[in-house]
Structure 1
Amino acid sequence: MPPLKPAPNPGPDAVRRFVFVLMKNFTLLSFAGAVDALRLANRQLGYRAYDWRVVGEGGVATRCSAGTVVNLDGDLDELRHDDTVILCGGIDVGTATTQKLVSWLRRETRRGVRVGALCTATHALAKAGLLDGKRATIHWENHDAFLEDFPDVDLAKSIFVIDGKTMTTAGGTSSIDLMLAIIARDHGQDVANSVADQQIYTSIRTDRDNQRLSVPTRIGVRHPKLATVIQRMETTIEEPVSPSLLAEEVGLSTRQLERLFRRYLNRSPKRYYMELRLARARNLLMQTEMNVINVALACGFTSPSHFSKCYRAQYGTTPYRERGSHEAAEGDPDDGTAAHLPMDDDLDDF
């Protein structure tokens, strides 16, 4: 590839600079997808329209969640007022959101920089108070925990969100969609399409696309009434709906609904619902500081001992031990039973 020519209209806005902040255990895919879209935009345009730096705490190197070490261009230093900061998050984002990072974000945004977040880094922007009253998105796995921690943020489930001078994405390849949207706005849709073509990216998504697969695709079942019931279950975790009412809502008898679940999912509706609620509970335990009692209530359990019994049967440990030793002072209501999954008759927290 020949060296890039200067911008045809040189000036302070001729080259747009992105500053990627790699947080500890960041997701490599999101970062790489975003940077490569900018590289390819330069290639398609034939001049350097975009530039970027890669920084992080310490300014030397950082490790992504896959174990690869990435060298940094610098530390969290003062930026130009026209820079765009893109935080790159990954696993254990709470630990990676240090006070130094939060203070730096607040200072730089006061100076006028635009800010964005890839994957779980939305958490860091919210921690810095930069998303209060704004729309944002985050990876679906972190959605429930984020809602508990930051109720003042209008959280969406879309691929990416742009709200004023803030941008957030859901993680994975959604960083490509965000960059393609920026490239299209800056240089036209034809350039963005050419970049996508180079990346073998055949379906450009917008901020109106949902980040999760549809229920039928996700569970591998195309039965419309079963999919509707499962979607209803997923949206009523805190206040579970009885199987008889779920069946009535889609025009089935309870026995017919039972047969559908047995045929397609090899479990009863109560069992499937319980597994959804326990999965939500595990996310909250691992990603928030909610106490175990409140996690139980948020997932539709009115009895802490029943919650602990079901949790232990599903995951081989109790909620208190899952949370860690710092919760031990609360006591563990588990009675040592539940060496096997509870029978369906026990799944009656509706």
Structure 2
Amino acid sequence: MQQACTGDRFFTFYLLDGFALHGFSAAVEALRLANDVAGRPVYDWLAVTADGQPAVSSCGMRIAADRSLAEERDRLLRVAPPRCIVVCGGRMAPPPDRALEAWLRLCGRNRLALGSFASGLYPLARAGLTDGRRCAVHWEHFPDFSERFFTAKARQTAFEIDGSLYTCAGGNAPFDLFLRLIEADLGTDTVNRICEIALRERLRETGERQRLPLQARLGTDNAFLIRVIEQMEANLSEPLRLTALSPASGLSRRQMERLFRREMGRTPARYYLDLRLERAHLLLLTASQPIIEIAMACGFSTASHFSRTYRERYGCTPQQTRLAETARRRAGGRGNAPEMEHERHVA
């Protein structure tokens, strides 16, 4: 499906297998609304996939591609380049792709703006385009990404703008990121009008947090409890002894035990272990690291101890969790539900 770009500025969206439809559609909708408010086609966009075939999103819906990667690479060398190239990912870190990474490096050498949603950040990092730059990483990907790409300035924020690098953790944050780009082009009045139409109460700033504050997540405002859990969350790979947590929190060991039982329904040691197991579970679902590396990253010294405690918590082994996730992804994320076709039309 070949589309001619007619807007003043156009974006190329590269869709990875299993990309999140939510983030992609949020970005496109921001551009569409900008065109509506401006009363003219200021923005245009197209979708690119590796082979030019439709991309299958994480929910199983297909999005038609306008070009293949080879066609887009050839076009880049012959005609006016896009305003920005955005790699759209999902929950699972994609495998290495030499052709994609070479294209991204070429775009970087040509001083094109580059962006990513969710796990779309991985190809940019593998291409060396995030070195020394701020980038927004989804909290599920953060442990794995920050270990692999320690030269990037990884942040657990909704979105980041570092020069010509636009990165977004995913979810509905692409809408905010693209409204910031639209604001730079068309002004605050246009963005305010878009927010009114989209029933958006506010526009997030660069660097805002992704997750709810700890008080909201825990459902408590007990300062002592929050202080202890903050320390636990900051020390998952090398767990602290409870005797080290007590003085820093201002509580005795006995007081801390009583507080956790009353507020969290379990002992501090059990809560800490559950945090580490939850982190390991996320890494099994989203990262391709060997299981022993995941175990060590979550504070387990042996694979047998990790496997035993994980099975007690989740009712299956780490290997079974990974195999089940692989099967789920191959099935399109929806089991045997029929696939749906969705054709995108350029505004």
TM-superposed deviation, 1:244: 3.2
Deviations 1:2-27 (A, max 9, x none): xxxxxxxxxxx981111111111110
| Whole-angstrom distance in 1 between the partners of 2:91 and 2:231 | 29
- Mark the CA change 1:320 to 1:24 in structure 2 (over 3 Å): closer, same or farther: closer
Q: How many residues align?
A: 312
- For residue 257 of structure 1, report the CA deviation from its aligned partner: 1.6
1:273 aligned partner: 272
Residue 63 of structure 1 deviates from its aligned partner by 1.1
Question: Which residue of the other structure, out of 52, 55, 61, is the alignment partner of 1:59?
Answer: 52
CA distance in 1, matches of 2:108, 2:42: 23
- Aligned CA distance change for structure 1 residues 249 and 277 (closer, same or farther; 3 Å): same
Are 1:29 and 2:22 an aligned pair?
A: yes
C-alpha separation in 1, matches of 2:123 and 2:116:
8
Q: Which moved more, 1:290-299 or 1:34-43?
A: 290-299
Q: 1:31 to 1:14 in 2, by over 3 A?
A: closer
Kindly name which structure, 1 or 2, has the bigger radius of gyration based on alpha carbons: 1
Q: 2:196, 2:253 → 1: CA distance?
A: 49
**What is the Cα deviation at residue 311 of structure 1?**
1.8
What is the CA distance between 1:280 and its match in structure 2?
Answer: 1.8
Equivalent residue number for residue 248 of structure 1: 247
1:118-138 superposed Cα distances (whole Å, 9 cap, x missing partner): 111111211222112211112
Aligned-partner residue type, residue 257 of structure 1: M
Tell me, yes or no, if the aligned pair for 1:17 and 1:52 is still in contact at 8 Å: yes
Offset of 1:82 from its aligned partner? Answer: 4.4
Question: CA-to-partner distance for each residue in 1:18-65, whole Å, 9 max, x for gaps?
Answer: 111111111011011111111111111222221111221222311111
Matches within 5 A, 1:1-350: 15-76=8-69, 77=72, 78-79=75-76, 80-95=80-95, 97-320=96-319, 322=321
Q: Is the 8 A contact 1:21 1:54 kept in 2?
A: yes
Structure 1: segments with no counterpart, 5+ residues = 1-12, 325-350
Equivalent position amino acid for 1:129 in 2: G
- Cα offset, 1:303, TM superposition: 3.8
Cα RMSD, aligned residues only: 2.2
The structure whose RCO (Cα within 8 Å, separation 6+) is larger is 2
Q: Cα distance, 1:86 vs. partner?
A: 1.1
Deviates more, 1:102-111 or 1:208-217: 102-111
* TM-score of the two chains, using structure 2 as the length reference: 0.83
Q: The residue matched to 1:93 in structure 2 has which SS?
A: coil
Q: Percent identity?
A: 38
SS at 2:238's partner residue?
A: coil
TM-score by length of 1: 0.83
Give CA deviations for 1:131-173 in whole Å, capped at 9, x if unaligned: 1221111211000010122111110111111112111001001
